[in-house]
Structure 1
Amino acid sequence: MKLVGVSGALAGEKTSLAVNDVLVAAQLIDSTIQTELIDLREYDVEFAVGAPLADYNQDTWDVVSKIASADFLVFGTPIYQASISGALKNLLDHFPENAFKYKVTGIVATGWSSNHFLVPEYQLKPVLSYFKGLVPTGNVFIHNDAFNLESDEIIDRNVTDRIKNLADEMIYLQRGINNR
């Protein structure tokens, strides 16, 4: 199985590191899982205008293809103005309606305000469900206080445990889908 993580932040390290932590946790649970991190800071994904995918640049094509070929996915977003990042929403606009059918689609979100912990639940989860993704119950919101100020490493043990639980639930659900 291949697990692809998508970091929907164009600035900072926290979201990318959190998504990568899910990928690492998944490999610790099952070393046969292949992982790949797509950090949107490293790609020039064009603005979605409703054109066929072939009309977009190579980076857009590559990112969409990598995500489409994954067995399951984890999406990371910073919370900006009580919403998911525009970069992640733009990326998702490139996919057809059934893009994530039979795929588990986990969520990791980072933010400065604890008041935003439900943003992924109320904004990103419905979008992933629209694409027919199966969204786990154990998605993770990470307050910025959970990160080390100098290294951006997660230092909150509770958050680390929740990330491991998310990886475990995603693997369990995806295996169930694959074995049906």
Structure 2
Amino acid sequence: MKLIGISGELTGWKATMILHHVLEAAKKVEPNLETELIEMKEYEIEFVRGEPLAYYNDDTFQVVNKILDADLLVFGTPIYQASMTGALKNLLDFFPVDAFKNKVTGIVTTGAIEKHFLVSEYQLRPILSYLKGFVPTSNVFVHNDAFNEINEIVDNDVLNRVKLLAEEMLRLQRSVASSEG
């Protein structure tokens, strides 16, 4: 089984740090789990033009196909202007309507305003559901105050919520896999 974390931030490290913790927590629950972290800042993802995927550059083609090949996904993004990053939204626009069918798709977000936790519920959850992903009941929003000056998480509640998300994602994916079999 393979879990991929996708960080939609092009600058900074907070969402990437949270995703790293989710991947590590999942590996503690499922030691044979294969994990990978895709940081969008490391790729040149083209803008969606409505053409077949083969018409896009290698980075775009590789990232989209890695995500399609994964068993579970967890998306992370900072919240800017009460929304996910444009880079993450653009990436999600590459996927066909059934792209995440039978995949658990978790969500982690970071932000400076407490009410930004709503972005997960009102923007990301509907998109992932539209793509037929199973979205766990929980997601993890992390306020900027939970990090120290070198972007380490200093709030143990956050680490506990990350652990619970990883556990729920794996439990759901096992259930999905057993119902397919």
Specify the TM-score bucket, using the shorter chain as the normaliser: over 0.9
- Residues 68-147 of structure 1: matches in 2 within 5 Å? 68-147=68-147
Distance 1:115 1:75 in 2: 19
C-alpha displacement of 1:161: 0.2
- Runs (4+) of structure 1 exceeding 3 A deviation are none
User: What percentage of aligned pairs have identical amino acids?
Assistant: 59
Task: Give the 3-state SS of the residue equivalent to 1:36 in structure 2.
Answer: strand
For 2:39, the equivalent position in structure 1 comes to 39
Distance 2:2 2:163 in 1: 17
Distance 1:66 1:155 in 2: 32
Distance 1:51 1:143 in 2: 38
| Structure 1 alignment gaps of length 5 or more | none
C-alpha displacement of 1:80: 0.5
CA deviation map 1:76-116 (0-9, x unaligned): 01101001110000000111100000000000000010011
Normalising by structure 2, we get a TM-score of 0.98
Are 2:28 and 1:28 equivalent residues in the alignment? yes
Normalising by structure 1, we get a TM-score of 0.98
* Number of matched pairs: 179
Supply the AA of the counterpart residue of 1:172. R
Are 2:175 and 1:176 equivalent residues in the alignment? yes
| Structure 2 alignment gaps of length 5 or more | none
Supply the AA of the counterpart residue of 2:176. I
For 1:56, the equivalent position in structure 2 comes to 56
